[in-house]
A and B are shown apart, each in its own frame.
Chain A
Amino acid sequence: MNGTHDLEQAADADNGGALNPREAARLLEQTSREARRQFNLSPPLLTALMGGVILVAYGALWLSVREQHPYTGPSLGVIGLVYATVAVAITVSMKVYRRATGGVSGPVARQRTVEGVAILLSYLGSPVLQGALKYYGASDAIVYGVIPAAAPLIIVGTTVAGIAASKADWPQFGAALAVVTGGVAAAFVGPIGAWLVAGIGLFVGVVGYAAATAWQRRAVGNV
């Protein structure tokens, strides 16, 4: 009986006469919007929220070191808080990633996976630099201050900028450039200010990207 019911439903849905142009336009707009939402890797609201969380985390790091003379690095409590924040951010990102890529296959989907791996690998750059600098006797201010604050922004930011430029994704390119600029500025303001400047650079890049994608989404209308 279920098959009969299906065929009846199909016949009902096949009735194009029941759909006037205005209803069709609305249905097309709603469906396209929902589909874009389903396949979107960076939902603007969530991205903006991440920007806020990043600012709070870097702000906490800055607050924990701003009275240090000489510089010894962020406190363990704050580092734990930052790691917990990062863990939550990764969990949420994975959930969004799974929804956006679930059941999707093809050349662009494969390309996305490769890009994700490249970005993850670029995160290794900063700890490698820290290890090398520690090995060569650099001060704590450099190893636990300037480098961990500035290097990830410069290394990961340039990786993302390169990927974005290759796809002509200019909002993402602009956001990555803002993050790289924040990283470069953070590298020259000392170990204490580096955390604050890096946090602001990341916040501007991430929230700017969220705003740009939200604007783009609003501008894209089918009818």
Chain B
Amino acid sequence: MTEEALDPLIHAPARLRIVATLAALPEGDALSFTRLQDILQLTPGNLITHLRKLEDAGYLTTEKTGNGTASRTSIGLTGRGRAALEAYTAALRGLLGGL
């Protein structure tokens, strides 16, 4: 097995951390943008860039509720995103010889 087996969408530090953080939530739950940013300590622009890529791939969904200052964006991992992380983890295990 080579590094090619690693999903390039997840195999980037920021996106790996985003997906791993969202995967720690129970299936179906979502996290607010501000809390995710707070946990990952990423700038808003950086986080948005990576979220857009993951959303385009169908790995996560974003939902905006409310208006103006009361607006809130929630981000949740989709079943496809969870499966992609599991496949990525399995590929890593394969590459590291089960370590």
**A interface residues, Cβ below 8 angstroms from B:** 2-3, 5-7, 9-10, 13-16, 18-22, 24-25, 27-28, 31-32, 34-36, 38-39, 102-109, 222-223
Residue on B with the closest CB to A223? B92
B46→A9 contact, CB < 8 A: yes
Asked if B58 is at the interface (CB within 8 A of a chain A CB), the reply is no
A107→B20 contact, CB < 8 A: no
Contacts A104-B35, A222-B89, A223-B92 given; does A13 touch B23 at CB 8 Å: no
A16→B49 contact, CB < 8 A: no
**B interface residues, Cβ below 8 angstroms from A:** 3, 6, 8, 11-17, 20-21, 23-32, 34-36, 38-39, 42-46, 49-50, 74, 76, 89, 92-93, 95-96, 99
List, in ascending order, chain B residues with CB within 8 A of A39's CB.
Answer: 24-25
With A and B bound together, what is the CA distance between A139 and B38 in angstroms?
Answer: 56
List, in ascending order, chain A residues with CB within 8 A of B15's CB.
Answer: 13-14
**Chain B nearest Cβ from A41, distance in angstroms:** 12
Q: Is the interface of B mostly helix, strand, loop or mixed?
A: helix
A19→B49 contact, CB < 8 A: no
Contacts A3-B45, A24-B92, A222-B89 given; does A103 touch B36 at CB 8 Å: yes
20 contacts between A and B (CB under 8 A): A3-B45, A6-B49, A7-B45, A9-B45, A9-B46, A14-B12, A16-B8, A16-B12, A19-B16, A21-B3, A21-B92, A27-B13, A27-B16, A35-B20, A103-B34, A104-B30, A105-B30, A108-B25, A108-B27, A223-B92
B50→A13 contact, CB < 8 A: yes
The contact of A9 among B43, B89, B92, B99, by CB within 8 Å, is B43
List, in ascending order, chain A residues with CB within 8 A of B12's CB.
Answer: 13-16, 19
The contact of A28 among B16, B30, B42, B76, by CB within 8 Å, is B16
